[in-house]
Structure formats: C-alpha cells, structure tokens
Amino acid sequence: MKKYDMTQGPLFSKIFLFALPIAITGILQQLFNSVDVAVIGQFVGKEAMAGVGTDAPIVGIIISLLSGLSLGTTVTVAQAIGRRSRKDINRAVHTSILLALLAGLIMTVIFEAIVPSLLTMMNVPGSVYAYALKYLRIYSGGLVIFALYDFTAAILRAAGHTKEPMYALIISGIINVILNLLFVIVFHLDAVGVALATVIANGVSVMLLMRKLITIDEDIRVHRSDLKIHPTQLSAILHVGAPAGMQGMLFDISNMIVQWGINSLGTIAMAGSSAAFNIEIFIFYVVIAFAQACTTFVGQNYGAAHLDRCQKTLAISLFQGMSITGIFCIGLLVFSQPLLHLFTQDDAVVKIGQIQLFYMAVMYVFSALQEIASGYLRGYGVSIIPTLISVMGICGLRVVWIMTIFKSMPTFQNLMMLYPISQGVTGIIILLAGFLFTRHLLHKQAYD
C-alpha cells in the first residue's frame, strides 16, 4: 500500500529525515525569492527593492491561504493512509487536485480586483507604488500554478515523499535565477521580470510533481478518469485546511498593519525591513518543516489508532524543531551585517535590518513552539482551536500594540518588539491546549 510507514519504527530519525527535505525545500525556495530582491536591489534601485519587499504581506496572504488549504490535504490523505483505506486515499487525492484548480482560479479573480486597494491601504509611497503593483498583478495571475504546487506537494508528503518536491524546486529555482538575470539585466523588465520569472519557474515545479503523481506506483497515483470532487473528502480537507488558511491569512493581515507602520517610517525603514525579511524568513521554513512533520506523523498514527506514537511525535518534533531553530537564530545574529550587505551597501538600511533580525531571532524560537503545537492538534483533524488561539494571541495583540504602544512611540524598535511577545504568549497557550486535548483523548480511550 505504501512504501513509507510512519506508524512503525523509530520516530526520532524518521521525523528528522522527513523534516529535512521540507526544510531544505523551503530554504531553497526562499533563497530563490531572495535572489529576486537582491537582483532588483542591485540592478534597479532601492525604490524597486522596497516595492517588491512591501508586497511581502500580500504575497504572504496568498501563500498562507493556499498552504493552509493544502494542509487539509496532508491530514486527510495521511489519516486515510494510516487507516489503510485505498478508496479514501484515492478520493482525497483527486478531490485535492480539483480543489487546487478551483482555489487558484477564485483567488486570481479576487486578488486581481483588490490589489490596488490593498496597496493604498498599506500606505505605499508613490515612488514605490508602481513597482509593487506591477509585481502583484503578474504574481496574482499565476495563482493556479502556485495552488497546484502546494497541493501536489502536500499529497506526496502525506505519503512520506518529501524529496520529490525538493528536487522539483531545485530545478525550477535554477530556472528562476537565470530568468531573473535575463529579464532584469538584459530586458530591463524590473519588477515585471522578477514576477514573470517566479511564475514560470513554479510552472516547471508543477509539471514535475504532476508527472510524479501520474506515474507513481502507489495508492496516491493520479488518474485523469478519477478526477472528481468527493463531498466527504472535500469536507475533511476544508475542516482542517480552511481554519489553517484563515489563520495564516489573518497573520498576514496583521503583518500588513505592521507593514503600514514600517511604511510610515520612510523608504530607508522599508528597504531595511525588506532586506532583513529575505534573510530571517529562511528560519521560518525550518520551523514549518518540523510542524508539517508533526502534523503528518500524528495524522498517520491517529488513523492507525496509535495515540502513544502521536504523543512521542509531539515531544520529538518540539525538541528537534526548537533546537535547530535556536542554532539558526544564533547564526543569524552573528552574521547579520555581511548578510544584509548582500542586499544593499546603504549603512542606514543595514542598521534598520540588524534591528529587525535581532527581534526576529528571538521570535522564531517561540514560533517553533507555536507552529509545532498547532501542527500536533491539526494532525488529529483539530484546526479550529489553534486558529482561534493564534488569531487572538498573535493577530489581536499585534493590532493592539500598533494602535497603542507604537502610536505613542513610533520607532522601528518598538514596532519589532511586538513579534517575540505575541508569538511567545500564543505558543505557550496552544501547547497547553494540546496537552488538554491529549488528556481528553486518553480519557475517552480508557472508557471505549
């Protein structure tokens, strides 16, 4: 039935080896994205770099919605694999492919319509606005491609195949870098060239992953004749994916409000924050790798009724995720200045970037706690609880902070302080919720 069994064998090594390709995939993806910003910063100018950088919260909303929805696919397919139900696996896989197409099309229409209003709401300066708008127009036009990548990768990962998305990304990433240099330096397409390169390169990834799903000799194989939306599987996917996507979207809406605060401090703050973001975001993908590993392992083991392995998965994921994240954060602080100089030679911009990197290094340790604990609950199919806690603890606190503390003392440092504080409080509460849910399951099991 499957070649990668998460319900048997040593968890410590399996979780690490599962998470490693996901982390590498995310880091490579962000490396290629950072090349976008570096190329446009070095060969076009700081206004263009600020324009692409200020789009990050909006791009984040898009990515969060799609990756959140695809998380529902990971859980639904993983639980079906744990139950060893070929019929449910087949239905979940084919429902996911069609859902990706529909979600991508709907989001393209919506974002193409609202992008100008979002940029205006974010208080984007006139010198930056044109670059930001051009980039987002093209990026939004490729959302079907981005959706298909997320969902096909989610299907493969649910079955334990984490290397294939990594290999696909390496190939498409190299194409992305080449097209970036070609479009920006040779054809002088500035933000348009960067966006086109991103969409085309992701299209290559999708073709590679779809080819894998069409030819793979496992129950997750895609057959064109089986493409159909099955209500039961669609409901299961949305039950987990919709709250996760909404949580990510609300995170990024709160980040848009933070970006509004950054924009109010001027172009130097915007450019410094953009450069810092493209460095520190690498750590986020390490965090997400262990959160996805936790979700997938819990999903398969819960489907197989192995609650003891679910609890061990949480403990191991937290230990590995927080330890490795901490090591990366230390490296981030030590090498902050030379890393920022890869993006700009402006000393004022570098100074702003260093402030952001310091606070983000602290935040990501708490982020590992919050994301892995959330992933643990979602592996059981419980998505509403971590979503509600995160929305109140992170989004709510950030908005209140900006409207009170930052408004009274509008400095970049005061703005950055909200990240570790909001993330730490939320992470602790979600972990407690995970413990309470586990106790409930064990109590229920004892009486069944």
**pLDDT tens digits, residue range 116-146?**
998 888 778 888 899 999 999 999 999 999 9
In a domain, 43, yes or no: yes
- Is the pLDDT at 30 greater than 80? The verdict is no
- pLDDT confidence bin for 3, thresholds 50/70/90: low
Q: DSSP character for 3? A: S
On whether residue 3 sits in a domain, the answer given is no
CA 176/CA 194 separation, integer angstroms:
9
Query: Where residue 80 falls among pLDDT bands split at 50, 70, 90?
Result: very high
What pLDDT digit, counting tens, does each position of 319-343 carry?
999 999 999 999 999 999 999 998 8
| Domain annotation covers residue 447 | no
Tokens 């005061």 appear where?
414
Structure-token pair, residue 162: 């984490």
Q: Specify the number of domains making up the chain.
A: 1
Tell whether the model's pLDDT for residue 2 goes beyond 50: no
pTM: 0.84
Cα separation, 5 vs 330, whole angstroms: 35
Asked if pLDDT for residue 433 goes beyond 60, the answer is yes
Gap between the Cα atoms of 403 and 444, Å rounded: 44
Q: How confident is the model at residue 1 (pLDDT cuts 50, 70, 90)?
A: very low
| pLDDT, tens digit (0-9, with 9 covering 90-100), for 160-197 | 998 999 999 899 989 999 999 999 999 988 889 999 99
Long-range CB contacts (< 8 A, 24+ apart) of 280-284? 280/332, 280/356, 280/357, 280/360, 280/361, 280/364, 281/30, 282/26, 282/27, 282/30, 282/31, 282/328, 283/325, 283/328, 283/329, 283/332, 283/360, 283/361, 283/364, 284/26, 284/30, 284/364, 284/367
The answer to whether residue 375 sits within a structural domain is yes
Expressed as residue numbers, the domain containing 245 is: 11-442
Residue 237 near residue 95, CB atoms below 8 Å: yes
Residue 226: inside a domain: yes
pLDDT score recorded for residue 294: 96
Lowest mean pLDDT among 48-57, 264-273, 396-405, 431-440: 48-57
pLDDT reading at 448 higher than 70: no
At 63, which amino acid appears? I
- What is residue 435's predicted lDDT score, i.e. its pLDDT? 94
What gap in Å lies between CA 213 and CA 223, rounded to an integer? Answer: 9
Cα 14–160–286 angle (5° rounding)?
Answer: 65
pLDDT of 216: 94
Cα–Cα separations (whole angstroms), residue 80 to 234, 302, 305, 309:
13, 10, 12, 17
178 found inside a domain:
yes
Please give the average per-residue pLDDT across 370-375, as a whole number: 95
Per-residue pLDDT averaged across 356-380, rounded?
95
pLDDT of 316 above 60: yes
pLDDT at 447: 66
Question: How far is residue 295's CA from residue 311's CA, in Å, rounded to a whole number?
Answer: 12
Reply yes or no on whether the pLDDT at 304 is more than 60: yes
Domain-located, residue 5: no
Residue 6 lies in a domain: no
Q: How many CA atoms lie within 13 A of 60 on its CB side?
A: 23
Q: Is 81 exposed, middle or buried (CB count within 10 Å of its CB: 0-12, 13-18, 19+)?
A: buried
**Average pLDDT score over the chain:** 90
- Residue 172, exposed/middle/buried by CB under 10 A (0-12, 13-18, 19+)? buried
The per-residue b/e assignment along 290-310, b for 16 or more CB within 10 angstroms, e otherwise, is bbbbbbbbbbbbbbbebbebb
Q: What is the pLDDT of residue 411?
A: 92
